[in-house]
Structure 1
Amino acid sequence: MTPLPEDSQPPIGEDDRDTAVQRLQDAYAEGLVSHEELDERLHHALTAKAQSELVPALASLPEEHPGTTSTIAAAGGRIHRRGVWRVPRILKVESAFGRVHLDLSRAVVEHPIVEIELQLGTGRAEITVPRDAVVDVEGLHTGRKDLRDKARRRSRPGGAKIRISGAMGFGRLKIRHARR
């Protein structure tokens, strides 16, 4: 196979750019880069046209924190998260049977992109997202194709992007935006 010429690299996606900006802001907050260095690196990240152009902007930064992935698992029964809680960058939810309810309406969402990976057998799942969140369910495979997505409405700019992926057996998934 012939390698692609450097000028034919695929363009950078907005998700990759958002992740790079978030990593730079985190590094600044942790005191790893100065204000001047942050400005310079942000300029590189925001003007990058290809993935390879992000490398200099992220050079010498630590990888994303390992604590940004959490798993909630139960063989049966209920999995319930509501109120004020910190949403990790990647949340894995595993349940053989039972109900799952994730309420992100009052949760602390610190990441511009949150990945929720569902691995559910039977039972129902309900996810309430913040009013300004954008929801993407393209990566979710359902056995019964029973998805009630009440979150498909225009959201205000600046909200987190919630990607829901994984597999559901014979349960039902309901997604809705918070009212307030």
Structure 2
Amino acid sequence: MGDRELRVSDAEREHVGQLLQRAVGLGMLSLGEFTERMDTALAAKTRGELNAVLIDLPGVRLIGQPAAPRTAFVNNAAPFAKGRPPVSHIPPPPAPPRGAGNVIRSRLSGVHRRGPWQVPPTLHLNTWLSGVTLDFTEAIMSTQVVEVYVDDYCSSLTLVVPAEATVDLNALDLIGASVNNKVRTGPPIGPLHLVVHGRLRLGSITAKHPLATHWRRILFGPGV
């Protein structure tokens, strides 16, 4: 069995996703091409299938070739040619502490947290092509300030917060992404203040109040 037939892991697929994202930032791929190649990478089972999405990207190395021709080995830690800057100089979200129970990891899935769920002081979201809804209206908080660290590819995150809550989305590193904050940013005036950090690639984040709160304010005024 050759290297091309070897099975690939989720970590290798994620690494290829990072290479494709950098290629978008360097102008090598359009957003449409990125989406098509990400679909192929997520479905890839062998290294040959995974390397196929990198075949025409310059400055990276192929499996089994000593020189640095035109494609990439999926585990190469420095994929692009020397001297080219990364897409962003903002460091990635810190690694979540092991065993803390505060990690939401999703691939091609839908995740919902509603009702009286326990909210830790920090939440780490690692999502690919997923939809995540975090509803804090009935959640049980251990601290007033909750930090949310996002590491996202092509996903949507919806934050539903009670009327008195505030949400700060100003610390995000956005790459082809959108942010829509429909609530106060601060200072904290109620039982919950969300601070969202991290990277959002070709995805979206929306912070909003529940629909009932929205209609009450329309009917009875902002003081309600």
Give TM-score, length-normalised by structure 1. 0.57
Deviation at 1:174, TM superposition (A): 0.8
Structure-2 change in CA distance of 1:153 and 1:169 (3 Å) = closer
Change (3 A) 1:147 1:86: same
Distance 2:146 2:186 in 1: 18
**Partner residue, 2:179:** 147
- Cross-structure match for 1:70: 102
Structure with the bigger percentage of strand: 1
State how far apart, in whole Å, the 1-side matches of 2:141 and 2:131 are. Answer: 23
Q: 1:161 aligns with which of 193, 215, 221?
A: 193
Work out the CA distance in 1 between the residues paired with 2:188 and 2:124.
27
Aligned residues of 2:103 and 2:124 also touching (Cα < 8 A): yes
Which one has a bigger Cα radius of gyration?
2
**Offset at 1:67?**
7.2
**Match runs of 1:43-54 below 5 Å:** none
Q: CA-atom RMSD, angstroms? A: 2.3
| Counterpart amino acid of residue 168 in structure 1 | L
Greater relative CO, 1 or 2 (CA 8 Å, sep 6+): 1
1:82 correspondence with 2:98:
no
* Preserved contact between residue 181 and residue 206 of structure 2 (Cα < 8 Å): yes
- 1:108 correspondence with 2:127: no
- Unaligned regions of 5+ residues in structure 1, if any? 1-65
TM-score, normalised on structure 2? 0.46
Q: Which residue, out of 153, 157, 177, partners 1:121? A: 153
State the 1:113 CA deviation: 1.0
Q: In the alignment, what sits opposite 1:133?
A: 165
* Residues 177 and 203, structure 2, Cα contact 8 Å, conserved in 1: no
CA distance in 2, matches of 1:138, 1:69: 26
Could you list the runs of 5+ residues in structure 2 that have no partner in the other structure? Answer: 1-97, 214-224
Q: How many residues align?
A: 115
